[in-house]
Amino acid sequence: MRKVDRNDDKLIDRNEIVAAVRMIDKHVARATLRWLQVFFFYFL
């Protein structure tokens, strides 16, 4: 959670929340894509 609070003011504002959600979304999308690739290569 420390990475989310970018300006170290101990308060997380809306922009920081949005940035964190985007970061998490990107990670989840990448992980899902990798899992799907593994799944397809395994079964084809």
Q: Quick: pLDDT tens for 3-42.
A: 666 667 777 688 888 999 999 999 999 999 999 999 888 8
Question: In terms of DSSP H, where are the helices of 1-44?
Answer: 14-43
pLDDT at 16: 84
Angle at 29 between CA 2 and CA 34, to 5 degrees: 115
Q: Does residue 1 surpass a pLDDT of 90?
A: no
Question: Which residues span the domain enclosing 36?
Answer: 7-44
pLDDT at 3: 63
Residue 35 lies in a domain: yes
| Total tally of structural domains belonging to the chain | 1
- DSSP structural state of residue 3: T
Residue 39 lies in a domain: yes
